[in-house]
Structure 1
């Protein structure tokens, strides 16, 4: 009888008449991989196992060459593939073939409210990572938007756990289609950058389970993510990269995660905790490489020689080590050693097109009084573009997401290309923010130095605006320290560099003013009543200029909606109103800062609903160049049993003159509960495309999960019998219809 022989890490297939009978047993891929893992474990020395649990360079960890096990290579994302750096330095390696496509920041992706677009994003960036032969893409980021000052919010997917969960799953699946692991980050409670390495987040279990964990749970259980990155902060007094409760009890216990837990770079602080508390792979612990005097600095990592020494002294066993190595081997078999792994592609036309499509779907039209937009080029002779962000490259800076791109088309160039010879486009600086263009050795090549005074810049901008038919001010934040940037939070909600004064001055001399805000965060807008049109443009990457121009000129009908609330002031944000941010230093001589989340589950629109605050722009808000009529919501039945589902259907009609896409949102309100609950919570959304005059029915499904809250005493999700309301809305404050039902 012919058979399949499995030896070591290789399988040899012998064909024959009996193959059809035996083949199905051996084609169980998961079973085969697990058998191979155990076989390899048996063949590995103790030293080889320990070596696999820690880095050997800035972005790689060793395999076992003797057994044919390849190295693991990481790359920063989540918006593009980071350029190569030297083996043990952050300096650029100087390659000429490591440029990439910069995709829009994840705030923009979340603003599309379109899981299909998220799948496209993941697939495209995964192809770029695969082409560069990376094992793991360090992204996406899904920490909850708790405060608009968080410097890293631009890398995340907004304030709502349901929206973030629905958007992260297809991203993960798209990346992993390429045989590249998505490493979802930063797990968990990385909600600020100030004191990020020393902040101990004090969060009640309801907030933890209802707000801060659901998107991670979705990434693990629905997206089947192969890797998770721990965060820098502490929780329950332990650093999140080796945290018993987060990693062992919840991630690997409750959620049954079978992938690899990777430390954030420099996030490991203790060998014993790293051994026992769920960390699998240590990266970036503070070392100056070979220059620190050791023969190999990486041997001094917490999970290196110190770990090996404890084992050899009999102070710890090898059970935890085998589990770590087993997970790392599983990662390698799913990626580098997957024989069906596709080849990938880098800087392809399809990727440039995907980047533009994502950007166009995510741009949000916040305000459009008097239909100032879109700009009709048949009626315009001169357009004034004003503002530093019209020409400043935004792919360089921001922290670890800084990219070396094939190209980045600026908003000014995008507008000029689109307008062509139909109108004159003139430019004025308006203000000087950060003229630099270098981060970690990546250089934009721009020289934005301008020594004119603010008064001179203002005078020029006002004069140019007076002479134009339209004024497009392109400002906002940038990716410099204390703005949208890793390792520091913003210092204020307002716009920097005196932009408010410039905008107000422009509004007084030209009524056709459009403000394009480029940022990954909400900003204060004291001039909101002076400006007819406001566009939220995010950090849009390679195709930024084309995407912005297509929205402004009406080639694309805007369809994005906000993934987080724009507050009028910080006093309208629970984390600031209740006075704890950015935390209170301990008086015990340590450097730990305790940050208590006093607002608990009331984050974003949950807070503004509870406190009856009118936001500047609400969660889920976004306008269009057409109009939509919502019909009456209809429910299929009024009573729901424990194992049943309800469906709510609402007709949506495009009553305007052009095609567009509307994001229909469903919120659930528990009208009476034993514990405090939000006024309403997002539990469904659908992006529906409509031609002029067309009507489509949008249907939502309500199950027990949509009615549940986390009971922190019983430590379980509870759906209490009672009366509920399903609310159909165009935003968190724009309610269009509702229906009542009972859960028994």
Structure 2
């Protein structure tokens, strides 16, 4: 036997042995550092296999490498629940019977809890559901800034303040990823409205970019350790944000050191060479239907598929960028589906429903409570009238890619009925007809909400029932239909649709104990605000919507939510509409939208307007008890540039109920070389206090909290001078001020 044949025989014999009996490749050895595994796997890949890793093979998956035992990557739409499966190559439902989920509250509600512990619970719970369904990447959460109340997708985001959004997104990411599922933070960046989202070129100054629109993403990467980021549809500096040199290469991967994967939004890729060079790693959704575009497999014609391979083979581009993309994708795979310590996850568990309810309860905001109409006194209530379509309409279906197929959804009406059963009679009147439909992407609610009565007839019925009621609860607001809170569409105005204002005013005349519950992910106009004693901001609360709302209304839970964005009186009070640019008209051409308001978004703008007050300020939220703030004090009157300053304040519950208060700290720079907001949120703590109990809240101020972005230097700067630490219960409710100086 020749030496060559002997070696061949040994090789064949080794190949016949089980893998455990062979010398395992490093990439399979989980005891090795991930970077060693990445390099080992990379060295074994062919050019064709590398390219296949960078683009989709189905609606929601990209190919692995079967030859090397590297599995596919499966993504799933979040961020409020695990979306049902669709067919391999179509948007139609796959028809599975095991892909229903628990719907968690929308992220506006999560932000309104102002509680990082709730965010961690949210991430852990939704991550367990994603892991149980064996998803590699959860397409969420979203942290785009609330610039205009018309944005149809605001309900998926975390409000107007970058610090609040950043501090709330970090625990969510950690909670998801401890399940071996990657969080995919979106939409990076400047995705602040939906109409013309594919062809809006945002023009924004560097100060606003770095101070307002980027910080939450930066925290997601550097504090949350996000394993993936999704690019936005719109453009910045004339380049689409799914392959943008400035945001992806210069900032995300350069300045921030992001080592994860950049995923395109579905249909967000437009050019092969830009996709190669400008930071995109994985391309999804470039065809609507992969089987009907003139090729047997249209996924091979994606921008990062055969066109990429052709450029490499022709020597027109190199493989340096490809290897970087593949390293990132392999790193993602080893962190998720090839992580041997990945837990099993769970689905539809009692604990997940409990988490959804708790988050909903903490996020509901009591906006107004004149005469202490709330909580409802069940000892004297004999008849409670509930009015409004949103009391019965399912809200988990619709709204775009966050639409879900739930195992169950408890409506507000049913939640109230269950809570007061045997104590009071609950009567329902429709009041108005909004959108009677109930279907999105093949998921059907099964509700029949059709009602042919005239608006006058509906109001008359509601008023008649309200006249002898002990309490009237109007449950309305927005819904998840086009033109409301919905992806790919924006609202036409700040006001409520379907004639709801008329219904509310009529009910206010009929009964003094009127409670208005607004379900929305956006601010609304309230021309009836002075006619209504109690107003509750309720959000989209998911599977436990009814139980969470009922607990607040009946006083089982003391409301503790605070607004994550400002409610303006009218649209013109919003700087994006009074100073900046916004278009609600569809266009096929690239449209420039200028953010002329710069850094003055939300309460930063409201603070400048001495004569124009918001309807409800950022950070506002009432309680059924009363909190008394002591005088805040600092441990020093000066702060060295390389040190910190501690501010303390004591808060006491002087009411008769246990409650939670969000203590907010803002920083004011009294003199700066560049314009600065009157104040900026730089700290918050949520504390629980029993009646009569006091707690000391401590904030630590560092140089970063005092800094602004100097666009001339392209650097963060903290200028020596006088500052104030402002302790507040909202942006408009100042409790104490501590002056200090930065040396």
- TM-score range normalised by the length of the shorter chain: over 0.9
Q: CA deviation at 1:579?
A: 4.9
Contact kept, 8 Å, 1:185 with 1:228, in 2: the verdict is yes
Contact kept, 8 Å, 2:195 with 2:584, in 1: the verdict is no
2:11 aligned residue? none
Question: Per the alignment, in what secondary structure is the counterpart of residue 329 of structure 1?
Answer: helix
1:131-150 map, 5 Å? 131-150=132-151
Q: How far apart, in 2, do the equivalents of 1:681 and 1:193 lie?
A: 27
2:637 aligned residue? 638
1:600 aligned residue? 598
Q: CA deviation at 1:6?
A: 5.6
2:12 aligned residue? none
Contact kept, 8 Å, 1:583 with 1:595, in 2: the verdict is no
Q: Deviations over 1:302-333 (max 9, x none)?
A: 00111000000000000000100110000000
Question: Per the alignment, in what secondary structure is the counterpart of residue 652 of structure 1?
Answer: strand
Question: Per the alignment, in what secondary structure is the counterpart of residue 730 of structure 2?
Answer: coil
1:422-441 map, 5 Å? 422-441=423-442
Q: CA deviation at 1:267?
A: 0.2
Q: How far apart, in 1, do the equivalents of 2:558 and 2:583 lie?
A: 40
Q: CA deviation at 1:293?
A: 2.6
Q: CA deviation at 1:39?
A: 1.3
- 1:104 lines up with 2:102 in the alignment: no
Question: Per the alignment, in what secondary structure is the counterpart of residue 127 of structure 2?
Answer: helix
Q: CA deviation at 1:290?
A: 1.2
Question: Per the alignment, in what secondary structure is the counterpart of residue 242 of structure 2?
Answer: helix
1:11 aligned residue? 29
- 1:739 lines up with 2:726 in the alignment: no
Q: 1:379 to 1:620 in 2, by over 3 A?
A: same
Q: CA deviation at 1:8?
A: 4.4
Q: CA deviation at 1:300?
A: 0.8
2:183 aligned residue? 182
Question: Per the alignment, in what secondary structure is the counterpart of residue 292 of structure 1?
Answer: coil
Q: How far apart, in 2, do the equivalents of 1:10 and 1:672 lie?
A: 58
Contact kept, 8 Å, 2:48 with 2:309, in 1: the verdict is yes
Q: Deviations over 1:121-140 (max 9, x none)?
A: 00000000000000000000
Q: Deviations over 1:523-551 (max 9, x none)?
A: 00000000000000000000000000000
1:167-178 map, 5 Å? 167-178=168-179
Q: Deviations over 1:614-652 (max 9, x none)?
A: 000000000000000000000000110011100000000
Contact kept, 8 Å, 1:104 with 1:541, in 2: the verdict is yes
Question: Per the alignment, in what secondary structure is the counterpart of residue 241 of structure 1?
Answer: coil
Contact kept, 8 Å, 1:585 with 1:594, in 2: the verdict is no
Contact kept, 8 Å, 1:666 with 1:684, in 2: the verdict is yes
Contact kept, 8 Å, 2:492 with 2:584, in 1: the verdict is no
1:493 aligned residue? 494
Q: How far apart, in 2, do the equivalents of 1:250 and 1:11 lie?
A: 33
Contact kept, 8 Å, 2:431 with 2:461, in 1: the verdict is yes
Q: CA deviation at 1:599?
A: 0.2
Question: Structure 1-normalised TM-score?
Answer: 0.96
1:459-538 map, 5 Å? 459-538=460-539
Q: CA deviation at 1:340?
A: 0.2
Contact kept, 8 Å, 1:565 with 1:619, in 2: the verdict is yes
Q: How far apart, in 1, do the equivalents of 2:293 and 2:719 lie?
A: 60
Q: Deviations over 1:567-599 (max 9, x none)?
A: 00011000000251128999xxx7101000000
- 1:610 lines up with 2:608 in the alignment: yes
2:686 aligned residue? 687
Q: 1:584 to 1:421 in 2, by over 3 A?
A: closer
Contact kept, 8 Å, 1:484 with 1:490, in 2: the verdict is yes
Contact kept, 8 Å, 2:386 with 2:429, in 1: the verdict is yes
Q: How far apart, in 2, do the equivalents of 1:189 and 1:592 lie?
A: 15
Question: Per the alignment, in what secondary structure is the counterpart of residue 487 of structure 2?
Answer: coil
Q: Deviations over 1:671-700 (max 9, x none)?
A: 000000000000000001000000100010
Q: CA deviation at 1:5?
A: 6.4
Q: Deviations over 1:436-459 (max 9, x none)?
A: 000000111101000111011011
1:206 aligned residue? 207
Question: Per the alignment, in what secondary structure is the counterpart of residue 184 of structure 2?
Answer: strand
Unpaired runs of 5+ residues, structure 2, are 1-21
Contact kept, 8 Å, 1:585 with 1:593, in 2: the verdict is no
Question: Per the alignment, in what secondary structure is the counterpart of residue 581 of structure 2?
Answer: coil
Q: CA deviation at 1:467?
A: 2.1
Question: Structure 2-normalised TM-score?
Answer: 0.96
Q: How far apart, in 2, do the equivalents of 1:33 and 1:181 lie?
A: 15
Contact kept, 8 Å, 1:583 with 1:593, in 2: the verdict is no
1:539 aligned residue? 540
- Cα RMSD (Å): 1.3
1:391 aligned residue? 392
Aligned residues: 722
Q: CA deviation at 1:288?
A: 2.2
1:223-238 map, 5 Å? 223-238=224-239
1:120-131 map, 5 Å? 120-131=121-132
Q: CA deviation at 1:10?
A: 2.3
